[in-house]
Amino acid sequence: MRKTMIELPPTPANSLPDKKYTTLVSLCGHLFDKFLINEALDIIETAGGSFHLVKCDVGQSIDDMSYSELEVGADDTTTLDKIIDSLTSIANAHRGDPNAAEISLKIGRVSECGIDDSMDKVGPKVLILGAGRVCRPAAEFLTSYQNIDQVHVVVASLYQKDAEETVDGIKNATAAQLDVSDTESLSNLVSQVDVVVSLLPASFHAAIARVCIELKKHLVTASYVDDSMSKLEQAAQGAGVTILCEMGLDPGIDHMLSMKMIDEAHALNGKIKAFTSFCGGLPSPAAANNPLAYKFSWSPAGAIRAGRNPAVYKFLGEIIDVDGSKLYESAKRLRLPELPAFALEHLPNRNSLMYGDLYGISKEASTVYRSTLRYEGFSEIMAILAKIGFFDAENHPLLQETDRPTYRIFLNDLLDVNNVSTSNTKVNGEETGGHDDELISRLMMLGHCKEKELAVKILKTIKFLGLHEETQIPKDCSSAFTVICQRMEQRMAYGHNEQDMVLLHHEVEVEYPDGRPTEKHQATLLEFGKTENGRPTTAMALTVGVPAAIGALVLLHSNHNTSHTDILHLHQKETCVNLSPSSVAALAPEQGPEERGDPASGTGDLHPCAGDLGSVGHQADRESGDLRMSGWDENLSSIYAAATEAVSK
């Protein structure tokens, strides 16, 4: 959908100084062509209120929605409540009537002018940039932490309503509207806090880091260190600023777990013979209820592009290169003995060789392999969708025409099927014959499927995604890639009560020069998303957001205990070298979250003396070398210790 954003001057801290009470109102719908915005403004003025237009995105066609944010003010809460009730009545008017003008409404917190002194509060302050799913677990963890002092969190987002929704119900957290490309506004917010956590895409981090360096503020990210960040290392050192990167799941926990296993082997004079790592964000088994057994909590475009990246790894001394176009075809079956219910597959994840160097095992390990996990069958279907042409990003001639084709016409074009109306017949409640048979025939004739059973599976996927339907393709789809992304986003999203799952599994084979038998060690992290008090928290958000929050706590603590400045990676030896119970007890805080319960397990403690990552399982199974992180609450202290080591060396 094309939109025009009306550029507005920066919103002052109190844009309605004559009104004591204010709230943010977000409106979305046909605001201008149906004159709904006029009606809303009339309601505000008639009631004696005032408004300030904060943001406005105007749809460019009769079908497009418009979006606006209004700061609404009144002299008293009674008047403000009356305005809110009247605006709500617009949104609810004629609901269910297809001819009624559709409008959605969201109301933010009511603030009393002059009362919000969040930036004037005594105590440490953390700014979180980005209000996506990962943000809330991070904000909850930080604000519930009591050891240093009460931590105040500011969540900043491009859209105020997103930040408001994220901090809703979190004590000692406030929302802020911020466009990070506005350096002046970014600098203003950063200057008022002690530590910044960026949960934005990695492409934003270098610009944010430059502002942090200029203002001498520490920064935490959950992203890999790229060239643009590495170039800032000297500037960070000169400014006395620590930039702690890779504080998430992958990268993050995976590095810490890897280095723990490798360092323990080296401490016993062992050599790493083989290192393999499997990691994936998946739907929980109950939510894996479509032909691909996969769902998206974000845009499918990034996931599809990742599945087209080339990969390289080392297996039994041989370097294996995998072309990006063949990545899905390289997937292999995986079964984990301790998790026999999971039918999984793995495909190589980009450049595994660099981790041999980063982990210090490239000269000793004959196998170094990092991979992405999916449920079995996913890659086979994705490979055939690619062969059909659905991942082609170039503009398609059919999609450049004014008269939009239907999904069926477009599918027929990709498979070179005659666009003749052939209807299916129903057998046992399912459609068959006609067009279905023709599609199966073409899939096999073109060589996409060698067996009919596979062709039937692909047909089911096509029908699940609605790629066969007699409805017009939207105007904003210009390529086969955008068509399938749009369909996947619609049909493969998580349902309201559905949960995701994170599975991380490492295997290390260790040999010893003194004749001791070769040992195999395993480590597994399995975490499921949860819903508490009607609010869902994904496993991915938890395992990325909480480590990032712990990184921020470490940097707050380091303001008093260390002068270390650098750009730090979580795979560095000094980051992960000491995860013993004694080091955790010495470096970790004396108490954890305030009787809140860890978001993963409800234990409510950081357990400073709980030991290594998964220490309970590791000590119990020392001979077999197995390491389980079945509930990661007892391991948060080790994440804290790993980050502390990074800034205290």
> Which run of H or E residues covers position 84?
helix 77-92
Q: How far apart are CA 569 and CA 580, in angstroms?
A: 20
Query: How many residues are listed for the chain in this entry?
Result: 649
CB 480 within 8 Å of CB 405: no
- Looking only at the bridges linking them, the beta strands covering 125-129 and 152-157 are parallel
* 538 burial type by CB count under 10 A (0-12 exposed, 13-18 middle, 19+ buried): buried
Contacts of 246 (CB under 8 A, 6+ apart): 221, 222, 223, 224, 225, 252, 255, 569, 570, 571
Tell me phi and psi for residue 104, to 5 degrees.
-115, 150
Instruction: Report the C-alpha dihedral over residues 100, 103, 109, 111, rounded to 10 degrees.
Output: -90
CB 277 within 8 Å of CB 361: no
With DSSP H G I counted as helix, E B as strand and the rest as coil, what are the percentages for the chain, rounded to 5? 35, 25, 40
**What Cα–Cα distance (Å) separates residue 101 from each residue in 55, 80, 89, 91, 112?**
21, 24, 13, 9, 33
Decide if 116 is catalytic: no
Q: How far apart are CA 472 and CA 399, in angstroms?
A: 10
Number of neighbours of residue 245 by Cβ within 10 angstroms: 27
448: amino acid identity, one letter: H
Q: How far apart are CA 222 and CA 370, in angstroms?
A: 18
Tell me phi and psi for residue 395, to 5 degrees.
-60, 135
Q: How far apart are CA 545 and CA 247, in angstroms?
A: 9
What is the DSSP track for 120-170?
Answer: GSSS-EEEEE--STTHHHHHHHHHTB-SSSPPEEEEEESSHHHHHHHHTT-
Contacts of 216 (CB under 8 A, 6+ apart): 239, 240, 241
Point out the catalytic residue in the list 57, 162, 194, 250: 250
Copy the structure tokens of residue 647: 């800034």
As annotated, the active-site residues are 250
